[in-house]
Amino acid sequence: MVDLHPAVAVLAPLLGTWTGSGTGEYPTIATFGYSETVTFGHIGKPFLTYTQRTAAVDDGRPLHAETGYIRVPGPGRVEWLLAHPTGIVEILEGTCDIGADGSVSMELSSTIARSASAKEVTALTRSIAVSGDRLSYTVQMAAVGQPLQHHLAAVLRKEQP
């Protein structure tokens, strides 16, 4: 395996596969539960790779997926570049705080681009916290005429290699 690029070394606690569950809600849909798998990897370049997949807890049907890259443009800053199969592309930018204990905390806001057929999404924010083998996050969304508000929350655990 290649060495982790020094530019993203502060994100080493993210590396690996994380699994868990969450809940989604929004005024325009019924509340739902989901299972999730997230994998962070690297190829020795100044970015991490990211893939995410969710499935409904009631019947296992696929719900969502996204893939992309994470960069560290400077101390205390992070960028996520994500593509969704629904026609949405997110450029997330924000803060990245690394605790003395190796914990990672990110606060991100998105610039959104969408294809002509994509659902109207006008804003997304993400709060992510990693401590040891626990990753938790919340997602806020403004879409289909609704203001920015809570949409998703999940807790994932790191799988052991």
Amino acid at 138: T
- Compute how many other C-beta atoms are within 10 angstroms of the C-beta atom of residue 115: 9
Q: Structure tokens of 1?
A: 């395996």
| Residue 151 marked as a ligand binder | yes
The C-alpha atoms of residue 5 and residue 89 are separated, in whole angstroms, by: 25
Question: 69 with 49: CB under 8 angstroms?
Answer: yes
Question: 91 with 108: CB under 8 angstroms?
Answer: no
| Residue 54 marked as a ligand binder | no
- Measuring CA to CA, which residue among 161, 159, 85 is closest to residue 119? 85
Look at the block and give the residue holding tokens 């994100």.
11
- Compute how many other C-beta atoms are within 10 angstroms of the C-beta atom of residue 29: 10
Binding site as annotated, residues for heme b: 28, 119, 151
Binding site as annotated, residues: 28, 119, 151
